[in-house]
Structure 1
């Protein structure tokens, strides 16, 4: 009986933390996998408006609404991962797990239209400093988990 009560309390605690957004379910994807899916496209070196319009729709960033801004990084995974070895700096949220490095990127900025199939974006392609939050994966290796700016 005590075990059942303990399990019930643990389940209630987990549901409460999920509701507060303090724990994020992964649905089979790690935060690093999500980062790469949302921000990395090493198949091109720079994007234009057409690239942004196509890529934002393909990535599902126009399904519920037109996402205002997304940055795509045009580098290979090892180049991006190496930024996690740079000196730590504070993130926008105050945590100290961010790292800065220079990468080729395309910023896709929403300019009008309606979801899901008519969101319009303008592209700004550049090589610039980006800030990436990194965390240790199960193998104890620092990997990118969030694009902070």
Structure 2
């Protein structure tokens, strides 16, 4: 006799097996280009995999970090709204913290060539901007899964600390993660850890 516990893994397996069928039905009723289908398949694979998430790409970083809006960066609901709008999550779970920056991607990419400095939270090597950049720091205050995430928004202007990584398919070093925005009153003269890329 089957128990409810034994049926649950069976139903999950059935859902995973039906994924290609769901994709075929979706394509039939909502025609997509081959590129859109490939992106959607990658998205499904990442969502249902049990391994680590895919590393950020240039396009994902740009869409989730760079802001051009005319909305005031001091708005107390900035983060809660923008995180939902820009679809910032980790497998539909709320991210604990996030930064939005009002700058160009090219400027951030140039920062990847700056000297290494110490980061926060035990990360040993970050790159620091040479000029002040405006941004918003988002700190999760409530929620576990999208769209229940609620964030406290804090306007910041300071030096950006970030990590960078190499993206093979475009053969470029790209910004990967914003570690912090150090406001000018908090800046302590750090000695460079190492010069170069890595």
TM-score range, shorter chain: 0.5 to 0.7
**Partner of residue 146 from structure 1, selected from 169, 172, 177:** 177
TM-score by length of 2: 0.50
Q: Is structure 2 residue 107 aligned with structure 1 residue 76?
A: no
Residue 36 of structure 1: CA displacement?
Answer: 2.1
TM-score by length of 1: 0.63
RMSD of equivalent CA atoms: 3.1
Stretches of structure 1 that go unaligned for 5 or more consecutive residues are 1-17
Counting matched residue pairs gives 125
With CA pairs under 8 Å and 6+ residues apart, which has the higher RCO, 1 or 2?
1
Q: 1:66 aligns to what?
A: 94
Q: 2:65 aligns to what?
A: 39
Going from structure 1 to structure 2, the CA distance change for 1:85 and 1:57 (only over 3 Å counts) comes to same
Stretches of structure 2 that go unaligned for 5 or more consecutive residues are 1-48, 181-198
Max Rg structure: 2
| Cα deviation 1:73-108 (Å, max 9, x = unaligned) | 1111222222112112355444x4x31113211011
Going from structure 1 to structure 2, the CA distance change for 1:84 and 1:111 (only over 3 Å counts) comes to same
Alpha carbons 1:48, 1:122 under 8 Å: kept: no
